[in-house]
Amino acid sequence: MSEPALILENVVVAFGALKAVKDISLTVKNGERRAIIGPNGAGKTTLFNAITGVYRPTSGRVTFDGADVSRKAAHVRTRLGMSRTFQITNLFPTLTVRENMLLALLGTSPRKFSLFGSSDPTADDRERIDAALGLSKLNDRAGAAVRDLSYGEQRQLEMAMALVTRPKLLLLDEPAAGLSPAERVIVSDIVRSLPRDLTVILIEHDMDLVLKLVDWVTCLNNGEFLAEGSPEAISKDQKVQDVYLGKARDHA
């Protein structure tokens, strides 16, 4: 058995008196596709932030690929092979797709972007960029300015930027949020065709999408662990229906 990709042990994230994540433990296997679901304010993004190092856990342990990274900074976790997208679009609109990709790559490289040094892409940079654009189905848009991309294409570019570092663990924060049904199909196809040795954890509200994409689902509520299981089991779980699907229906 290979080492699990990620182990969380009793992770707590507190903002003053508010515990946004309360004592969460979970194990994600190598190559697994895992969804984190739960109603608004459940603690999903905060948990992502604790995994990726945006926040250090108030207590508990995060083990990534066999190493305790609980106290490591975000850029160190990136170097170890974690990568993520954010809910909010984070792109340079006047630059091209390829230029945004290069900045994403340079931002994580020791060969930092410098006003004086050369930031011309190397052959390896170009290969990485082409591979990530290919996985994100954006090859034919490489020369387009980001402001000319559709919203769906911008989300695809964010995925490409997260993939360009060749991560072992990819975290996607609501990759299909705000997308049209046709754009959701593209995002599903991209996630489904990612290399099988890449571990993927995604936050997603769309249960139809989750059911089709992942092996296992963890449901949070109010910062607490609520349930875990196969997508089929979770979609039928009464507790989940009560807190998550019930609230989703209220918002519909």
Task: Please identify, using beta-carbon distances, which residue of 152 and 223 lies nearer to ligand ATP.
Answer: 223
The answer for residues whose C-beta is within 8 angstroms of residue 19's C-beta and 6 or more apart is: 12, 13, 58, 223
Q: Does residue 42 belong to the site contacting ligand ATP (CB under 6 A)?
A: yes
Q: Is residue 84 involved in binding ligand ATP (CB under 6 A)?
A: no
Nearer to ligand ATP, 32 or 204 (CB): 204
Does residue 175 touch ligand ATP according to CB under 6 A?
no
Q: Is 41 in the site for ligand ATP (CB under 6 A)?
A: yes
Write the single-letter amino acid at 135. Answer: L
Q: How far is the CB of 124 from ligand ATP (least distance, A)?
A: 36
- The CB-of-141 to ligand ATP minimum distance in angstroms stands at 28
Tokens 């509200």 correspond to: 205
Nearest of 149, 199, 201 to residue 179 by alpha carbon: 149
User: C-beta of 38: minimal distance to ligand ATP in Å?
Assistant: 5
Quote the DSSP letter at residue 237.
-
Query: Rounded to whole angstroms, how far apart are CA atoms 101 and 139?
Result: 12
Q: How many residues bind ligand ATP (CB under 6 A)?
A: 11
Binding range to ligand ATP, per CB under 6 A, among 14-22, 89-97, 181-189, 244-252: 14-22
Q: How far is CA 80 from the centre of its chain?
A: 15
Which of 11, 45, 78, 221 is the binder for ligand ATP (CB under 6 A)?
A: 45
The residue within the footprint of ligand ATP, chosen from 33, 34, 44, 155 (CB under 6 A), is 44
The span from the CA of 9 to the CA of 154, in Å, is: 35
Q: How far is the CB of 131 from ligand ATP (least distance, A)?
A: 30
DSSP string, 141-168: GTTSBGGGS-HHHHHHHHHHHHHTT--S
How far is residue 208 from each of residues 166, 213, 228, 240, measured CA to CA in Å? 28, 9, 17, 15
* 178 is an interface residue for ligand ATP by CB under 6 A: no
- Interacting residues toward ligand ATP by CB under 6 A: 15, 18, 20, 38, 40-46
